[in-house]
């Protein structure tokens, strides 16, 4: 996917939504030739994501506006830190303010929550990954924000990886038949992952040698047993991914079972927005 094109289209849509027929307040108060300088300031500790989106928002509103970032995406900032400066026509700055802040707040929120999960499992060898539980249309941006926070991206969409879930298994009549059909059709050599719900299904999947096995809502004891069986397996050893109701309170214990990946839908579907403010100097 062309991320730049996606970003430009999203910004255009967001500005059309916000500005509508025109920014009445600004145009009726602020003279067209009035210049201004402004800063965007962090109002809480956060990890940055979406700086490019904020810059391009101002530049779409008025190509004459000049922006300067004081940090980079992925940087940790503290309350009161200036993260971006913008100068030029006051009208453009004020009209673009809310849309720029919305992008920055949402994406920094994703990056910040991801960094918390990554920090929670430090030293275990496990890795945090996202899911497809993203805001429609925002996937490229939100997955980039996950990377800013130190997480990894799972498949981007349905076309770049095979994930055999329980409904696929039911449709095929079993894991064995589902994987047989996948192997017959997978001429692109896509990564193949199988979701299992218990150790019986796990053993079936392990014997078939997929690239990954997703342990769906396994308890800690079952995860440890799946890890043990994988390490003893004589054939190909798939990566193990834990998934299901993962929280900051539970993620460390999950990582310590020895799984390779922990997928966290909350990174993108429940991250609280980070708080930023634009101040005219």
| CATH number of residue 135's parent domain | 3.20.20.70
Residue with token string 């991801």: 114
Annotated catalytic residue within 133, 155, 229, 239 = 133
In terms of residue numbers, what domain contains 245?
A: 119-269
Residue 165 designated active-site? yes
213 DSSP 8-state letter: E
pLDDT of 1 reads 58
pLDDT of 10 reads 96
Residue 193 designated active-site? no
Separation between Cα atoms, residue 49 and residue 55, nearest integer Å: 12
Strand pairing partners for 69?
Answer: 84
Residue 98 designated active-site? yes
47 CB-near residues (< 8 Å, 6+ apart)? 74, 75, 76, 77, 108, 111, 112, 114, 115, 148, 149
| Co-location of 18 and 126 in the same domain | no
Q: Are 131 and 242 in contact (CB under 8 A)?
A: no
Annotated catalytic residue within 59, 81, 130, 195 = 195
| Co-location of 191 and 72 in the same domain | no
* Total domains, the chain: 2
In this structure, the chain runs to a length of: 281
Residue 239 designated active-site? no
| Co-location of 20 and 135 in the same domain | no
Picking from 148, 146, 139, 181, the residue whose alpha carbon sits closest to that of residue 164 is 181
pLDDT of 236 reads 86
Annotated catalytic residue within 216, 225, 256, 275 = 216
Q: What is the pTM for the complete model shown?
A: 0.95
Residue with token string 């076309």: 159
Counts for the chain of helices (H) and strands (E), in that order: 11, 12
| Co-location of 262 and 142 in the same domain | yes
Residue 160 designated active-site? no
pLDDT of 5 reads 86
CA distances 181 to 56, 176, 195, 198, 208, Å, are: 45, 9, 16, 22, 13
pLDDT of 2 reads 66
Q: Which residues of the chain have pLDDT under 70?
A: 1-2
| Co-location of 87 and 151 in the same domain | no
| Co-location of 35 and 130 in the same domain | no
CATH code at position 85: 3.90.1170.20
Separation between Cα atoms, residue 63 and residue 254, nearest integer Å: 49
pLDDT of 150 reads 98
| Co-location of 73 and 102 in the same domain | yes
């Amino acid at each position: 996917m062309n991320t730049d094109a996606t970003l430009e289209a999203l910004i255009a849509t967001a500005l059309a939504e916000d500005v509508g027929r025109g920014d009445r307040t600004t145009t009726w108060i602020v003279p067209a030739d009035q210049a201004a300088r402004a800063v965007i300031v962090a109002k809480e500790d956060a990890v940055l994501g979406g700086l490019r989106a904020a810059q391009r928002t101002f530049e779409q509103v008025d190509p004459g506006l000049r922006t300067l970032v004081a940090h980079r995406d992925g940087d940790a900032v503290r309350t009161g830190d200036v993260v971006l400066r913008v100068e030029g026509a006051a009208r453009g700055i004020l009209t673009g303010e809310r849309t720029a802040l919305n992008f920055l707040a949402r994406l920094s929120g994703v990056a910040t929550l991801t960094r918390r999960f990554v920090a929670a499992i430090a030293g275990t060898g496990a890795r945090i990954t996202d899911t497809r539980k993203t805001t429609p249309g925002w996937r490229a941006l939100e997955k980039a924000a996950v990377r800013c926070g130190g997480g990894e991206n799972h498949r981007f969409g349905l076309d770049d990886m095979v994930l055999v879930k329980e409904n696929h298994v039911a449709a095929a009549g079993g894991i064995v038949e589902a994987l047989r059909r996948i192997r017959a059709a997978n001429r692109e050599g896509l990564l193949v992952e199988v979701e299992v719900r218990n150790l019986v299904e796990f053993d079936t999947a392990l014997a078939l040698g997929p690239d990954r096995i997703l342990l769906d809502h396994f308890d800690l004891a079952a995860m440890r047993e799946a890890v043990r069986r994988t390490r003893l397996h004589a054939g190909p050893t798939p990566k193990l991914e834990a998934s299901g109701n993962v929280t900051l309170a539970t993620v460390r214990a999950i990582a310590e079972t020895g799984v390779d990946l922990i997928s966290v839908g909350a990174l993108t579907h429940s991250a609280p927005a980070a708080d930023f403010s634009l101040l005219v100097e």
